Amino acid sequence: MFFKKKKNVNEETAPQHTEKCGGDSCGCQQADGFDQVIKKPLDRRSALKGLTAGLLAGTGFLNSSCSVTAGDTDKELASLKWDEYFKGNYQLMTAEEKKATVARLEKMYALNNGGKINISDKGAAKDVLYGYAFNISKCQGYMDCVNACVEENNQDRDSQMQYIRIHEFKKGQMNFEMADDNFYHEVPAAGHFYMGTQCFHCENPPCVDVCPVKATWKEKDGIVVIDYDWCIGCRYCQAACPYDGRRFNWSTPHVPENELNKDQHYLGNRPRKKGVMEKCTFCIQRSRSGENPACVEACPTGARIFGNLLDPNSTIRWVIENKKVFRLKEDLGTEPKFWYFMD
Amino acid sequence: MDKIKNSSSYRHSLFISRHSRAGGNPLEWSTVFGQVTAYAGITGFIGFVLLLTTSCSGPSHNDHSPLVQIEKHSNSNIEYSVSSDPFTYGIEKVAVTNSEKDTLFFIPNRVNHLVSFPCNNCHTQALGNMVSDDPSGKKAHWNIKLNHATDEALTCLTCHSSNDVEYLRLNNEKEIHFNQSQKVCAQCHSTQSNDWVGGAHGKIIGGWAPPRVSNTCVNCHDPHSPAFETRWPSRLNTVKIQELDPK
Ligand code: SF4
Ligand code: SF4
């Protein structure tokens, strides 16, 4: 179903895209996704929301960009904001449009904060499908992974957002209703075992199916990502995920400047905003460069294993083929790419 | 992959085929195929009708399983554009080889990190000559307490060569370099060793991309006291922090 819908979107928008603004040469305001939004009936976001927000934003941008009192920086920021506001869905952007939006975001950060961030738009590599394995016998509940994830992915410090949950189970059962997620004692506690959950990057992700605006999708290398600038914050996906994999920004996320991880990816750890969804991306900014996700690197017990499922020589493949593995709620058909195993 | 397929039980395959969304599971067309033909037939028919009514070009449901992806798209000669090298930069690597001397993967050089290596900076005698039963005698390396198995199973000379302090020792009296210490461990811990070579035990450092660099046994376990200690978690869960420090 998803693929069919997605195809329709492509069919509708792709031709417009090529025949209209292909680049700066055609002289319109900004090639980047402008047509996708302006020339399209407002079927993706509700007409009312679009109109009000557009009017408000427009007045604001115009006010500062035409004002005689506003400084050059303000004017530049306003024009960048304007272009950002009307950019398209990342899935539909051409390579140049991706580069352009990344450049704008970097520039906006520099103007606002005076520092430099690197936002990558690196795509999926050929012959790569990421998978993850978690050794329940080894996890000791140290929470080093959670710390590393928060730092790597610039999660909001005020709301204590965490992508990973470590559950403590009393030995003899594995009932998530009975698990203690708030343990407050030395670990591992006698008679208990630990298990981590996060987004499992399902091959058949229900969260993607339900998104009304196609703001979340599965990349070719199997990572389920979110376009934070396209998400309308309806939280359908959060309700659809059977694994508690998604997190919502109830307030504007805040990361102290000196703690900000400046190596970012458009689909990964770049700063989010209020009212959008986020979640584990297998540290897309790291994994697409060949590096292990932050949680894998931080775990002192080696309970976390990450790699390429399509490579028969990878350790993740060895685990799947040689250990007794299971996945959570397999009967739902979500096909998570996250396996659990024991020694 | 054969293992995965063959591990399917009859009950399990039935369970899966009853759930139409799980049509992607390779169990369905695996060795137990015959036993679920009826179900598969029905699911297949429904799937066909759905396909006709909803889409002409939708992907087959089978594509939704990573196991099918593995089956279809596995490639043992992937040309990677990324490498783990930038992330293990500065780590001097030592090869781990199999019995045919093929390199399997790499581990960090050990002797570079041993503070008092080489031992003959201090010791001129073989370890065997220095051992004494006299409890009042001077104790070298007093900070090392052997907390590994029992006294009956292990003494210093079980792992350290009695002839040459620079070497470790195997049960067959073969001397082993400190950079190959995993061979000493593997003599007793063969299960862990197999899992480590495969990748289920231990920790890959740097990146997932080749070349693989893994921690060796002693990078995580102190050989004189190999068990992990209990400790406080490095942070608390969100809810707990709010409970403890309500604003
Ligand atoms: S675990 Fe949840 S959020 Fe992640 S892909 Fe699956 S359904 Fe989506
Ligand atoms: S909250 Fe989820 S479902 Fe809603 S628009 Fe954002 S990504 Fe899509």
Residues of chain A above pLDDT 90, percent: 73
**In one letter, which amino acid is A40?**
K
- Range with lowest mean pLDDT among A212-226, A250-264, B95-109, B145-159: B145-159
Q: Which domain, by its residues, includes A247?
A: 206-280
Q: Is residue A95 part of a domain?
A: no
B108 has a pLDDT exceeding 80: yes
Does A188 sit behind a cis peptide bond, omega within 30 degrees of 0 on the bond before it? yes
| A282 in Cβ contact with A104 (< 8 Å) | no
Whole-number Å distance between alpha carbons of A246 and A177: 18
Kindly give the number of the ligand 1 atom that is closest to the alpha carbon of A246: 3
Same domain for B105 and B44: no
Q: Which ligand is nearest to the CA of A226?
A: 2
| A213 in Cβ contact with A92 (< 8 Å) | no
Decide which of A80 and A66 is more confident.
A80
Mutation choice for ligand 1 from A279, A284, A339, A340, CB with most ligand atoms inside 8 A: A279
Closest residue by Cα to atom 2, ligand 2, is A237
Q: Which residues of B are less than 8 Å from A140 in CB distance?
A: 228
* Section A106-125 average pLDDT: 93
Q: Is B93 on the interface with A (CB under 8 A)?
A: no
pLDDT for A49 equals 55
Q: Which ligand is nearest to the CA of A245?
A: 1
3-state class (DSSP) for residue A163? coil
pLDDT for B45 equals 56
pLDDT confidence tier of residue B123, bands split at 50, 70 and 90: confident
Contacts of B97 (CB under 8 A, 6+ apart): B103, B104
ipTM: 0.78
pLDDT digits (tens, 9 = 90+) for B144-182: 888 898 878 888 889 999 998 899 999 999 999 999 999
* Section A26-38 average pLDDT: 46
pLDDT digits (tens, 9 = 90+) for B35-78: 444 555 555 555 555 444 444 444 444 568 999 999 899 999 99
Q: Which domain, by its residues, includes B160?
A: 85-124+145-220
Q: Is residue A9 part of a domain?
A: no
The Cα-based distances of A33 to A45, A93, A124, A267, A272 in angstroms read 15, 7, 22, 17, 20
pLDDT confidence tier of residue B136, bands split at 50, 70 and 90: confident
State CA A142 to chain mean position distance: 25
pLDDT for B132 equals 76
Whole-number Å distance between alpha carbons of A85 and B45: 47
Interface test with B, best of A122, A184, A325, A327 (most B CBs within 10 A): A184
| A168 in Cβ contact with A260 (< 8 Å) | no
pLDDT for A29 equals 43
Decide which of A231 and B141 is more confident.
A231
Closest residue by Cα to atom 7, ligand 1, is A241
Q: How many independent structural domains does chain B possess?
A: 2
pLDDT confidence tier of residue A296, bands split at 50, 70 and 90: very high
**In one letter, which amino acid is B108?**
P
Question: What is the distance in angstroms between the Cα of B32 and the nearest Cα belonging to chain A?
Answer: 18
pLDDT for B146 equals 85
Q: Is B199 on the interface with A (CB under 8 A)?
A: yes
pLDDT for B122 equals 84
Same domain for B200 and B105: yes
Same domain for B153 and B89: yes
Q: How many independent structural domains does chain A possess?
A: 2
As a whole number of Å, the end-to-end CA separation of chain A is: 39
Whole-number Å distance between alpha carbons of B117 and B109: 13
Same domain for A271 and A212: yes
| A148 in Cβ contact with A297 (< 8 Å) | yes
Decide which of A211 and B27 is more confident.
A211
A195 has a pLDDT exceeding 50: yes
Whole-number Å distance between alpha carbons of B53 and B44: 14
Same domain for B99 and B35: no
Same domain for A275 and A151: no
pLDDT for B42 equals 57
Q: Which ranges in chain A belong to alpha helices (H)?
A: 2-19, 34-38, 47-66, 72-85, 95-113, 144-152, 206-210, 236-240, 284-287, 294-298, 315-322
pLDDT confidence tier of residue B129, bands split at 50, 70 and 90: confident
Same domain for B112 and B174: yes
Same domain for A275 and A140: no
The reply to whether residue B207 touches residue A291, judged by beta carbons under 8 angstroms, is: yes
Same domain for A196 and A292: yes
pLDDT confidence tier of residue B84, bands split at 50, 70 and 90: very high
Same domain for B99 and B39: no
CB of A213 sitting under 6 A from ligand 2: yes
The reply to whether residue B208 touches residue A291, judged by beta carbons under 8 angstroms, is: yes
Q: Is residue A155 part of a domain?
A: yes
B22 has a pLDDT exceeding 60: no
Look up residue A145 and give its DSSP letter: H
B112 has a pLDDT exceeding 90: no
Closest residue by Cα to atom 8, ligand 2, is A211
**In one letter, which amino acid is B187?**
Q
Q: Is residue A149 part of a domain?
A: yes
| B243 in Cβ contact with A183 (< 8 Å) | no
- CB proximity under 8 Å: B 5-44 to A: 15-16, 19-25
Question: What is the distance in angstroms between the Cα of B223 and the nearest Cα belonging to chain A?
Answer: 16
Same domain for B40 and B150: no
| A64 in Cβ contact with A74 (< 8 Å) | yes
Average per-residue pLDDT for chain A: 85
Does A293 sit behind a cis peptide bond, omega within 30 degrees of 0 on the bond before it? no
Question: What is the distance in angstroms between the Cα of A5 and the nearest Cα belonging to chain B?
Answer: 10
Same domain for B89 and B10: no
Nearest Cα residue to A330 out of B131, B8, B125, B143? B8
